[in-house]
Amino acid sequence: MIISTFLGNNGKKYELTRHNLPWMMLTYLSFYHSLRWSEKFKGEYSKFGNPELLILKPRIFMNNSGESVVSAMSFFKLKPADLLVIHDDLELPFGTVQLKKGGGAGGHNGLRSIIRQTGSSDFFRFRLGISRPPAGRDVSSWVLSRFSSDEEAILPDYLRKAAELYEQVLAGGLKPEAKIKLFEPRD
């Protein structure tokens, strides 16, 4: 079993922010509408497919995501090598996706919480690029802001292509790949 954890912040005011890009992508999965959700592990989860995939959506603040992840991993007797975390990443340009295994938190509080709670950084990450903030802009306010109008114009295509890539990764097994640029930023 693989556990795919889609990070985001709970609450209407965060719904369309950069930090919630993984939750937005989740709705673009080809099997999303067939998922049956249950509440547990400080979030929502659903099982899908064969081999079985556990999809977890922590419903607590990003900074505490590890609590939800560890609870689900303990219940299903999973180890960090069985974990795939889908998260926003400001080190990647908007429109870029990368599958990576291991590494640090890179300033991402959700990853930091998962690393702290699991005691390991040896898990897969499906990184969704949101770009760095413009000079002088605070990182916290950046990740909690909405996308620009230019970004919003291509956001549905970005999410669709990222979801397709995620499904291809699952179908082919988890193997770290190079960064894939899905879209070039507009000038």
Catalytic positions:
19
For the chain, the maximum distance between any two Cα atoms, rounded to a whole number of angstroms, is 48
Q: Is 113 helix (H, G, I), strand (E, B) or coil?
A: helix
Phi, psi of 137 (to 5 degrees): -95, 130
Residues contacting 187, CB < 8 A, separation 6+: none
Sheet holding 53-58, edge to edge: 38-40, 43-48, 53-58, 2-6, 83-89, 124-129, 96-101, 180-181
Q: Which of 112, 83, 111, 100 minimizes the C-alpha distance to 176?
A: 100
> How do beta strands 53-58 and 43-48 pair?
antiparallel
